[in-house]
Structure 1
Amino acid sequence: MEINLVLALFAGIVLVLSAFSSALQRISLPGPVLALAFGVLIGPFALGLLRIEDFGVPTGTLLEQAARITLGVGLAGVALRLPHGYWRANARWIAVVIGVGMGLMLVVATGVLWGLLGVPFVLALLMGAIITPTDPVVTTPVVTGSMAEERVPERVRHNLSAESGINDGLGYLFVMLPVLLLTTPDQSWPELLTTVLLWEVLGAAVFGAVAGYLLGKLFVLVKDKGLMEESSYLGFLVPFGLFVLGAGKLAGTDAVLAVFVAAAVFGQVIPQREEEQEDKVDDVVNRFFLLPIFVLIGLALPLPEWVELGWDAPVALLAAVLVRRLVTLWVLYPMLRGVHDRPETGFLSWFGPIGVSALFYATLAERHTGHHEIFVYTTLAITASVVVHGLSTAPLSAWLARREPQRKQRTETAT
């Protein structure tokens, strides 16, 4: 592999998309869509400049670890966007959309895939679990940037960020059930309840909370003592996410969940003024890590295997991605009526994209089960979601912005 070619291609696309990010966002061509298309363009089915095999690492291993690192940094940025007091003030949203919503999305996605794809139920359950979490990295263009700040209310952006961060980590619990049913069916439930739930998931929450609190206190201490040269998240954000990701995995926990919990606690411990001064740093860092992973996905897309699936597979997968979110949010609407009105619920019910987290869980599941079709189906679902949700970001955010004055008027009239 020519390392300079990789550097030129990957850094070049990040440079171009960063330079024109605002203009591209406003015409509904966000970075993930173009980075994915660029990966296909330079890959073996177009220009042939680069192949995923050229990296000298097994494709599954490369994609799993790249996705895991991207999530580690991305989740830290997502959690740090949330203002002080967010969790207490929005406990109702979190409890309903996570406590009830994730289970309902899993049921709906599994039912659609089982009925339309014609795969065995356990495989449909595994695929449903992989696409259940809303991807926190892909939602970044929806909730950050000048267009999002102008058009999407802050409460919508914060609630979507918080939900995607939490359910991304908890997705591990959902994915491991069908994985265990496929690999160790006799011991699946005891293993799920003891090793997975009690140690890996709950242990990750405890580990993350402790790590976030201690690192937050350290940050405050070195700032107050004048030991830190520059007041910036940048020196903490990337190593923070990667440290918790690595240490959490060494401890045998669900490290993805640990990162989000740690960053959420860290964000509440440090002074509010730091968040206000550095609110753009995590956006820059996330873009730097977000775009290359989609170039990698574009390089790895199994296009010939997609062709063999026929036309019904992409229809079924896109239907599962869209319907699982639409059904869930509107079923839960009576419980969330005081949190979001109908236009906001409509916006949130549409934007449940999948991406990096689905790739991570798909490669993890393929490694455990040996079922390659998981990767084939998931990459097709990711591509469909990135394109459909990416192209609809600008028009739907504009639609929501037009309804915001009406909502404010109704609120003022009611008071």
Structure 2
Amino acid sequence: MGNHVEINLVLTLFAGALLTFAAFSTLLQRISLPGPLLCLAFGVLIGPYALDLLRMEDFQVSTGTLLEQAARITLAMGLAGVALRLPHGYWRANMRWIAVIIGLGMALMLVVATGVLWWGLGISFLLALVLGAIVTPTDPVVTTPIVTGSLAEEKVPERVRHNLSAESGINDGLGYLFVMLPMLLMTTPDQAWQEFLTTVLLWEVLGAVLVGALAGFVFGKVFVLVQEHDLMEESSYLAFIVPLALLLLGAGKLLGTDGLLVVFIGVAVFGQVIPQREESEEDKVQDAIARLFLLPAFVLLGIALPISDWAGLGGAALAVVATAVLLRRLVTLWTLRPLLKGVHDRSETFFLSWFGPIGISALFYATLAERHTGNHEIFVLATLAITCSVLLHGLTAAPLSAWLKKREPQDKQQEEVSA
């Protein structure tokens, strides 16, 4: 009987929160209270530090396992949404942005975040490196409210939205590479480099790219074929996408590759193979389905936040972690600005240098790292970083989007004068 009460309580609380936030989504976005922020706050409210309606122990699965698997599935749906959001020909037309922000940007963000955490927290270099790697990737889930919806479409230029989406998709899968090296150095220092180069780089990452590209191409062709022969209902598009993302996630992992990278590459290739018409028509529905999958993870995280552990860290640690999250992005974008001058003007660069939110991807890598190393401090500091980012980036989304919209005519005039 107890278990039935628990599942019904979970359904009531989680679905009630999603229903409320969906009903007022436009209003909440305009006053800068996006879904991830509200769901995280709701999780804290119903968790052990407030109303104590639900605790992680009630789920009868270890906290680390539950959060890691919830984060994996949430990311798969988030990455599928990002990959389908990008128009045909996007990748070819935006190679400069991708090469600079991924090739140089990820390494620079890792260096800045690691440096700030190592110097500011006084922790070991390897622990700082693991944490730096965890907070490096831009999160596709927290990024979604910034780049989708009526407010974003009205205020934020399309190229900014697409570039932020593409970056959050690729660096999320590649984040695995950055997290694995310090993790291997902590656990098996003797074989770390050999395992990193052979297993992690050659198979788990490059293998994931090949598997994802091939699967995406094949499934795209199958989709076109069944459509042409009227074997599939028009409304079955979404019924195809959701299982496709989950299939790629599971199969990618069964093959021993980075499942998240398989999902993003696979769905991105799929999106370029199927007709453009499908994407534009279904985008809004895809985003609605994605939110249904994405937001519960933040409620779960809110319940699991180690607030008592944070209290023992003191205010200085909070300041250092928040600084690492913000500086990694600001320093990187402005350092790389000379290479991106033709891509984004100064206002857009500032917007992109501020919005590098972290969230569910950081949670996934934090739980993965804690499981492999047995170091609980990783989870404590990573969840503090996620909470800082969800608050700072969530509360500033609406005002900065409005600021960018106002700057657009001025920047165009300046560009014309300089031309």
**TM-score calculated relative to the size of structure 2:** 0.98
Structure-2 separation of matches of 1:365 and 1:161: 25
What is the rounded CA distance, in whole Å, between the counterparts of 2:196 and 2:144 in structure 1?
32
* 1:107 maps onto 2:114 in alignment: no
2:197 matched to 1:186? no
- Residue 285 of structure 1, CA deviation: 1.4
Matched, 1:47 2:51: yes
Deviation digits for residues 250-287 of structure 1 (CA, Å, limit 9, x no counterpart): 00000101100001100100011111211212210121
The equivalent residue for 1:199 is 203
Give the partner amino acid of 1:313.
Answer: A
Is contact 2:77-2:294 (8 Å) kept? no
Q: 1:234 matched to which residue of 2? A: 238
Match of 1:268 in 2: 272
Matched, 1:97 2:104: no
Please state if 1:126 is matched with 2:127.
no
Residue identity matched to 1:238: V
SS at structure 1 position matched to 2:115: helix
- Alpha-carbon distance between aligned partners in 2 of 1:61 and 1:376, rounded to the nearest angstrom: 16
Alignment correspondent of 1:365: 369
Letter in 1 for 2:93: A
**2:52, 2:322 → 1: CA distance?**
28
State the match for 1:168 in structure 2: 172
Which residue identity lines up with residue 189 of structure 1 in the other structure? Answer: W
Instruction: Write out per-residue CA displacement over residues 45-81 of structure 1, whole angstroms, 9 at most, x where no aligned residue.
Output: 1111111110010000000000000001110110000
Q: Which runs of 5+ in 2 are unaligned?
A: none
Residue 411 of structure 2 is matched in structure 1 by 407
Partner of 1:22 in structure 2? 26
2 CA distance for matches of 1:411 and 1:44?
54
1:293 aligns with 2:297: yes
Counterpart mapping for 1:235-384 below 5 A: 235-384=239-388
Deviation at 1:407, TM superposition (A): 2.7
Matches of 2:187 and 2:149, distance apart in 1: 43
Match of 1:7 in 2: 11
Which digits, 9 at most, give the CA deviation of each residue in 1:133-153, with x for residues without a partner?
000111000000000000000
Say whether residues 1:136 and 2:136 are aligned partners. no
Distance 1:307 1:233 in 2: 48
CA distance in 1, matches of 2:418, 2:188: 57
Secondary structure of 2:190's aligned partner: helix
CA distance in 2, matches of 1:414, 1:154: 23
SS in 2 for 1:130: helix
Please tell me whether the aligned partners of residues 40 and 299 of structure 2 are also in contact (alpha carbons under 8 angstroms). yes
* 1:313 Cα deviation from its structure 2 partner: 1.1
Length, aligned pairs only = 415
1:223 touches 1:231 (CA, 8 Å); kept in 2? no
Q: Please say if 1:213 is aligned against 2:217.
A: yes
Distance in 1 (CA, whole Å) between partners of 2:418 and 2:279 is 33
How far is the alpha carbon of 1:230 from its aligned partner? 2.1
2:191 match: secondary structure: helix
**Cα 1:145–1:232, aligned 2, differ >3 Å: closer, same or farther?**
farther
CA distance in 1, matches of 2:40, 2:280: 32
Question: In terms of mean alpha carbon deviation, does 272-281 or 117-126 score higher?
Answer: 272-281
What is the Cα deviation at residue 411 of structure 1? 4.6
* Aligned sequence identity (%): 73
Moved more, 181-190 or 223-232: 223-232
Which residue number corresponds to residue 147 of structure 1?
Answer: 151
Q: Secondary structure at the match of 1:186?
A: coil
CA drift of 1:410 comes to 4.0
Distance 1:108 1:175 in 2: 15
Q: State the match for 1:67 in structure 2.
A: 71
SS of 2:53's partner is coil
Tell me the secondary structure at the aligned position of residue 86 of structure 2: coil
Q: Is the 8 A contact 1:241 1:259 kept in 2?
A: yes
- Residue 396 of structure 1 corresponds to which residue in structure 2? 400
User: What is the alpha-carbon distance in structure 2 between the residues aligned to residue 329 and residue 316 of structure 1?
Assistant: 20
Q: Residue 412 of structure 1: CA displacement?
A: 5.1
Cα deviation code 1:326-374 (max 9, x no counterpart):
0000000000000000000000000000000000000000000000000
Rounded to whole Å, the distance in 2 between the matches of 1:192 and 1:349 is 30
Deviates more, 1:340-349 or 1:285-294: 285-294
1:135 and 1:355 in contact (8 A); partners too:
yes
Deviation at 1:31, TM superposition (A): 0.7
Distance 2:223 2:403 in 1: 41
Whole-Å Cα distance in 2 between the matches of residues 405 and 248 of structure 1? 46
Instruction: Find the aligned partners of 2:349 and 2:188 in 1 and give their Cα distance.
Output: 40
1:233–1:281 Cα contact (<8 Å) kept: no
Q: List runs of 5+ in structure 1 lacking aligned partners.
A: none
SS in 2 for 1:137: helix
| AA partner of residue 230 (structure 2) | G
